[in-house]
Amino acid sequence: MQKSVFVREMFAEIAPRYDRANRVLTAGVDERWRGRAIRELAAAPGSRILDLCCGTGDLTFGLVRRDPTLQVTGIDFCAPMLDAAHARAKKVASGADLRFVEGDVMALPFEDASFDGAIMGFSMRNVVDIVATLREARRALRPGARLVNLDVTRAPNPLFRRAFELYFYRIVPLVGGIVGGSKSAYRYLPSSLVNFPDADGLSERFGLAGFKDVRYLRMGVGAIAIHVGVA
């Protein structure tokens, strides 16, 4: 099975419990990580922002909570995830300027230079081609706009790395399988880090895709990274 098909079907299966599983597995800390990513985006009032692989909309809703004047478009290729995002929007952001689009981040259905900023959370590990995804994101951004990516990475400290890997590869599949409703999905999600580039490697790929002034910061004992690049 192609990776893209597998990932779409996997997320479709866990969509109903996805948000609850995230809160349980991180004890709610993932919301603080997303908040920091949103601050790094530093979107100006009234900006058009693209949420790549938006899922159920955590970053989308975080953006409009921070600034209700933003026009946010979330895109994801998993329809059940978008269904959950639409349902959340009716409850918590009914007056916000939001749009959810079903589509592939490697072939965005938007014109060049359509957005003033873009953000992506815990999804880059799941794309088929990282550089192609980054290039497509840059195409959709106006010159000078930022792309912010939030994802898991390898902690540089060996002690912290071992502790995190114990949690990520042993505890997450167990607890995620119970709370999220799919043991196979929560075995895949940790394993997706195995072939994912480390923080420096992802920075290099930002550069290969044409982004400038690339930098990153670490959180969560170094196992979470926020990358920022300028189109």
The whole-model pTM stands at 0.93
For residue 227, CA distances in Å to 13, 79, 134, 217 come to 29, 27, 12, 7
Environment class of 107 (CB within 10 Å of its CB; exposed 0-12, middle 13-18, buried 19+): exposed
Question: Hey, what are 199's tokens?
Answer: 């923080």
pLDDT at 1: 54
pLDDT at 28: 81
- The CATH class that applies to domain 3-16+26-154+196-230 reads alpha beta
Question: Hey, what are 189's tokens?
Answer: 């999600």
pLDDT at 127: 94
Cα 64 to Cα 188: distance, rounded to the nearest angstrom: 31
From first to last of the 231 residues of the chain, give the pLDDT tens digit. Answer: 578 888 888 888 888 888 887 887 787 888 999 999 999 999 999 999 999 999 999 999 999 999 999 999 999 999 999 999 999 999 888 788 999 999 999 999 999 999 999 999 999 999 999 999 999 999 999 999 999 999 999 999 988 888 888 888 888 777 777 777 777 777 777 778 888 999 999 999 999 999 999 999 999 889 999 999 999
For residue 79, CA distances in Å to 20, 40, 137, 169, 196 come to 19, 29, 21, 28, 25
Question: Hey, what are 188's tokens?
Answer: 């895949």
Provide the 8-state DSSP code for 16. Answer: G
